[in-house]
């Protein structure tokens, strides 16, 4: 008889990791996650950490947008399936920005706002963690291609030599 783990979710689950992101000097949106046609994207967790050559604080906001950003310098981030045998490729689109968009997509709501102290490069980094759906609350959901989650730095001045690591986890159904 084969044992079945009834606690393991059956939804396809993905991770997107951005290592050593060097955003614009006064960053706005630095990462976006776009919903997908015919899918519900459930964001489970976002972790942000960073170091700098000059210590300083940086604001982080999670903003829901109903339209895409335009221009800026961006690149798609390849998401990794938690189970590549059954999960396939991610439908949600994860994008990182190294130059600010010229126009931000339409903001629907600011969902979270926090600050992070970027420690000196020789120190241990602190981190911000946004967790959804683990304490009886709902996951942060993206419904369709016109639903975006943006990680935004509010145009704060980036501490000198700043480098950010950002990890997102989500599932799709």
CB 105 within 8 A of CB 115: no
Which among 76, 54, 61 has a CA at the least distance from the CA of 28? 61
> Rounded to an integer, what distance in angstroms lies between the CA atom of residue 171 and that of residue 91?
10
Tell whether 6 is covered by a domain: no
Helix (H, G, I), strand (E, B) or coil at 128: strand
Specify the pLDDT at position 125: 87
pTM for the full model?
0.92
The string of pLDDT tens digits covering residues 60-105 is 999 999 999 999 999 999 999 999 999 999 999 999 999 999 999 9
Q: Does the structure show a pLDDT above 80 at 45?
A: yes
Q: Per the domain annotation, does 47 fall within a domain?
A: yes
Section 109-133 average pLDDT = 94
CATH number at residue 167: 2.60.120
pLDDT at position 124 is 86
Q: How confident is the model at residue 118 (pLDDT cuts 50, 70, 90)?
A: very high
Number of structural domains (the chain) is 1
On whether residue 161 sits in a domain, the answer given is yes
Say if residue 5's pLDDT is above 80: no
Structural domain range at position 83: 13-172
């Amino acid at each position: 008889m084969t044992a079945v783990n009834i606690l393991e979710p059956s939804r396809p689950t993905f991770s997107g990791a951005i290592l050593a992101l060097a955003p614009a000097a006064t960053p706005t949106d630095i990462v976006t996650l776009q919903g997908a046609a015919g899918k519900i994207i459930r964001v489970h967790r976002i972790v942000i950490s960073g170091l700098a050559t000059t210590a300083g604080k940086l604001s982080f906001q999670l903003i829901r947008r109903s339209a895409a950003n335009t221009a800026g310098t961006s690149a798609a981030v390849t998401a990794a399936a938690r189970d590549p045998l059954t999960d396939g490729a991610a439908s949600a689109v994860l994008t990182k920005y190294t130059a600010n968009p010229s126009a931000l997509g339409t903001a629907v709501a600011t969902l979270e706002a926090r600050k992070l102290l970027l420690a000196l490069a020789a120190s241990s980094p602190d981190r911000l963690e946004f967790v959804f759906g683990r304490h009886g609350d709902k996951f942060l959901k993206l419904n369709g291609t016109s639903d975006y989650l943006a990680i935004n730095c509010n145009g704060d001045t980036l501490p000198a030599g700043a480098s950010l690591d950002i990890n997102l986890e989500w599932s799709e159904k």
